[in-house]
Homo-oligomer: A and B are copies of this chain.
Amino acid sequence: MKEVRVGICGLGTVGGGTFNVLARNAGLIAGRAGCAIRTVRVATRTWRDDIDLGDIPFSTDIMDVVNDPDVDVVVELIGGYETARELVLAAIANGKHVVTANKALIAVHGNEIFEAAAEAGVAVTYEAGVAGGIPVIKAIREGMAANRIDWLAGIINGTGNYILTEMRKGRPFNEVLQEAQDLGYAEADPTFDVEGVDAAHKLTIMASASFGVPLQFDRAYTEGISRLTPYDIAHAELLGYRVKHLGIARRREGGIELRVHPTLVPQSHLIAQVDGVLNAVLVDGDAVGQTMYYGPGAGDEATASAVIADIVDVARTIQAGGQGRVPYLGFAPEAIEDLEVLPMEYTQSAYYLRIQALDRPGVLAKVASILSEHGINIESIMQKESEVHDGRIPVIILTHTVQERQVNQAIEELEALDEVDDQVVRIRAENFN
């Protein structure tokens, strides 16, 4: 039985988990892959006493892995953009397959990397980059292969989902963020997680694999959860909705929607029940309908599970004697369609609007008339005398689906009203039908 030899770059959380799982389940993994999968070299700058490398050679220079003629598969787990890019391109140039957990790298440099890999005839896989241990890239690129995927929506950042779950108990954002940092769920600088950048990386990748379009991270719309209040979360609940931080991609006539933002989802939908640090991705195909993939989106061994699944995929393909089997984005390069991401103003959504208005007769009529002038239909409206505060009363409106542009114009006019002296709160809503 031939063996497939792996070189691991980076021995942090995921790198350590990958090394350990490969060692612990070596026999079982060999049984599945049809050959042994052996770690033959490691490069790391973060030395870990808790990992026993045995007599496996290691160094602090990642290029030692890339240049080692014994290595068949380079596993890139160092993160970041530029060094990772150089590492991966060098590995490809040396004819090595690449497995990465680096969503930022793929979302930003994926087009260039896949082109180089296609030329060199090597695999580059990235399951671990999206939704951690959940095999959702496999589901999209292979399991959904019969379908025209119409849209997908995912809870793809565990930190954000943990914070929103806690905020449902009435706790403010800053307090929960602090707690998440203390628990190690959130980084010292939480921007990537709470402002949606991390989710936008993952969404960009899933969208391209779903629709067969080039990676366009710089065109993704990103809005975080830091300005959400327990007040709006509670009122969304009263309307039958739950607020989740979703990445949403949708195929539209002439382009695709690509957006990360807080979103009202029906409480009755399964995705509303996904709480805490867990992830879930909902994928809608024209043949299958809605499917959902749920599990841990982070963690050392959960992410390692996806890294190793990719390694086994590569090993099985090598064993079978074939070339790279599944195209990088799930579509043959010549089948990639040059569809652009639509500007945010042209996306479509329903909206939760909270208008802080003076408690005077006639205000509601003015609000309704502005919405109507912009073609915005109201699904629900909520205004409670008991909530008058400082002479102001919140008017909460849930609209039908409409173009973002129309809502922008309406909000501008609403904010210009004498009776409205605060910003209108706007949270998008999806009904998944």
- Residues of A at the B interface (CB closer than 8 Å) are 17, 21-22, 24-25, 28-34, 127, 133-135, 138-139, 141-148, 212, 270, 273-274, 285-296, 299, 301-302, 304-309, 312-313, 316-317, 319-327, 330-332, 334-335
A210 → chain B, closest Cβ, in Å?
11
CB-contact partner of A142 in B146, B285, B312, under 8 A: B312
A386 → chain B, closest Cβ, in Å?
32
A234 → chain B, closest Cβ, in Å?
21
**Cα of A286 to Cα of B300 in the assembled complex, Å:** 12
Known: A144-B309, A312-B142. A323 touches B326 (CB 8 A): no
CB-contact partner of A134 in B22, B30, B291, B316, under 8 A: B291
A296 → chain B, closest Cβ, in Å?
5
How many chain copies does the complex carry? 2
Q: Do A146 and B305 touch across chains, with their CB atoms under 8 A apart? A: yes
**Cα of A102 to Cα of B25 in the assembled complex, Å:** 32
- Chain B residues with Cβ below 8 Å from A31 are 212, 331-332, 334-335
A314 → chain B, closest Cβ, in Å?
11
- Of residues A134, A288, A290, which shows the largest number of chain B Cβ atoms within 10 Å of its Cβ? A288
A338 → chain B, closest Cβ, in Å?
13
Q: Do A312 and B146 touch across chains, with their CB atoms under 8 A apart? A: yes
**Cα of A29 to Cα of B17 in the assembled complex, Å:** 36
CB-contact partner of A317 in B144, B299, B320, under 8 A: B320
Can you list 14 A-B pairs, Cβ within 8 angstroms, ordered by A? A21-B146, A25-B147, A133-B288, A135-B142, A142-B313, A145-B312, A270-B274, A270-B294, A287-B305, A287-B308, A289-B295, A316-B326, A320-B322, A322-B325
A6 → chain B, closest Cβ, in Å?
12
**Cα of A301 to Cα of B34 in the assembled complex, Å:** 34
